[in-house]
Amino acid sequence: MPKVRVTRRVHFSAAHRLHNPGLSDEDNRRTFGLCNSPNFHGHNYELDVTVEGEPDPDTGYVVDLGHLRAAAESVIGDLDHRNLNVDVPWLAGVLPSTENLVVAIWARLAPLVPRGRLVRLVLWETPRNYAEYTGD
């Protein structure tokens, strides 16, 4: 049986700020530049969720993309139109870089995938940069 990967893109808009409370204000500014701006800034994030498996002979689906979308939205629903530094219990203590976000989303989403196996998340912060995680 062939192994196929399917991907569904979902999106959310959020505010954040890069700030390490263990560093001085001066060091934060020097390290993070504009991303340390005190009153937050924000992004339109896009998340590409990739699941691998063998297509079900009855449906032709690795996973029903409607179900996968629902799983993904149950996670990013906590992030959409929120402040990633302030509003999200499961991001408490996480410095919200794209790298740290994609790892945190993986931990929430992987157990919810309804069929197949989560093999890749790509989180776009802007149309010109993204972070990619494969669970390693």
Burial class for 8, CB neighbours closer than 10 Å (0-12, 13-18, 19+): middle
Contact 22, 29 (CB under 8 A): no
Catalytic residue among 46, 73, 125, 132: 125
The minimum distance between CB 81 and a second copy, in angstroms, equals 4
Contact call for residues 50 and 6 (beta carbons, < 8 A): yes
Choose, from 11, 41, 54, 81, the residue flagged as catalytic: 81
Is 74 near a second copy (CB under 8 A)? no
Based on the residue annotation, tell me whether 81 is a catalytic residue of this protein.
yes
Binds a second copy by CB under 8 A, chosen from 30, 66, 70, 90: 66
Active-site residue 125, yes or no? yes
∠ CA 82-36-74, nearest 5°, is: 20
**Considering the complex, what minimum distance in angstroms separates the CB of residue 46 from a second copy?**
9
Binding to a second copy by residue 24, rule CB under 8 A? Answer: no
Q: What CA–CA distances, in Å, run from 117 to 67, 74, 106?
A: 14, 17, 12
Q: Which of 35, 52, 67, 132 is catalytic?
A: 35
Instruction: Please give the positions annotated as active site.
Output: 35, 81, 125
